[in-house]
Amino acid sequence: MNIVAAFTERGVKLALRLAKFLGGEVYAPERFSREGVRAVNAPLTEWAGEMFRRSDALVFVGACGIAVRAIAPHVADKMTDPAVLVVDEAGRFVMPVLSGHVGGANELARKIAGFLHAVPVITTATDVNGLPAVDEWAVKHGCVIENPDVIKDVSSRVLEGLPVGVAVTWENVATPFPVTLMLRPRVLVLGTGCNRNTDPAEFERSAADFLTGAGASVLSLAALASVDLKKDEAAMKIFAEAHNVPFVTFSAGELQAVRGDFTRSETVRKYTGTDNVCERACVLAAGEGSVLLRSKCVYNGMTFALARRVHHDITA
């Protein structure tokens, strides 16, 4: 969700244009409320805290100082903070002030500037020097940064023209360089089945053990997949939410139609309508040409299988 805030009549007019362009909501002091404009009915700092939790990007139309004071108590971590930008009410300048790379504020600033024919005021060192920002590259190419504490060191070496160590892999391998930024492409789909009312904590432990056995990083999960009979299974939904991946389900007919050499069970067919859930589900969810990395493994009332997507562009 994109949120645009304004504090003057002129600013509200620009905010409405931006919200239409970006898709999102406009907020302003109550005296400026009208159709398409929601009232800020709390102290600005308190309101900004709520927007931090709700938004992907928070755009302030007005003075930079207003934005800085509003967000200051809520700034936590560059990996989780939303993008925050400031646009002057005349629409001449666009400045990202928080989460320029991982949060996408720099890219959004360029997008807004193009729309307004404005100047993007970008101050991050790599951008100023025309050098690649590894954290921005990671986000753009669907990778999760495993060790964000290394970003500063890697960026410093890039600025100094020194070699850097970056590994892009779903496999749990030893870091190949003395200082290595580990990027995890989201290319794996975990297929699963389980008994009704499986304990979520036990499901988490079993899934972690299975992934460890497959030599796979949980950060590379792109989805959790199962049969639609399990679409409301709490353990699966909690796992997917905890790891920020979609939980996708398929009908028994869809699963049975998947081509491949799968572990078959008449007992599973009896209760679900398909002879295999976990393997078929992960292969189907991973898409055409996917590879079954690890076949069905049985835990206490649970089954897991793992597939890898082949269509994932991680080229620079």
**Sequence-separated (6 or more) residues with CB below 8 Å from residue 100:** 83, 106, 122, 124, 127, 136
Whether the domain at 2-123 and the domain at 188-308 fall into the same CATH topology? no
Q: Which tokens hold the place of 58?
A: 């928070």
Q: Which tokens hold the place of 165?
A: 């160590």
Proportion of the chain above pLDDT 70, given as a percent: 94
Task: Give per-residue pLDDT as tens, 164-184.
Answer: 788 889 999 888 887 888 899
CA distance to 152, 203, 208, 277, per residue, from 302 (Å): 41, 8, 13, 11
Assigned architecture for domain 188-308: 2-Layer Sandwich (3.30)
Q: Which residue has the tokens 């990778």?
A: 143
Q: Which tokens hold the place of 79?
A: 């990996």
What is d(CA 301, CA 34) in angstroms, rounded to the nearest whole number? 56
Instruction: Look at the domain 2-123 and name its fold.
Output: Rossmann fold (3.40.50)
Task: Give per-residue pLDDT as tens, 260-298.
Answer: 899 998 888 888 899 999 999 999 999 988 999 999 999
Residue 311: per-residue pLDDT? 66
Mean residue pLDDT of the chain comes to 87
Residues of the chain with pLDDT under 70: 78, 100-102, 124-133, 311-316
Scanning the chain, the segments in alpha helix (DSSP H) are 9-22, 44-54, 64-71, 105-116, 125-128, 134-140, 151-159, 200-213, 234-242, 252-256, 266-272, 278-286
165-168, strands of its sheet edge to edge: 143-145, 180-185, 165-168
Domain spans, the chain: 2-123, 134-185, 188-308
Task: Give per-residue pLDDT as tens, 102-112.
Answer: 677 888 888 99
**Sequence-separated (6 or more) residues with CB below 8 Å from residue 113:** 94, 119, 120
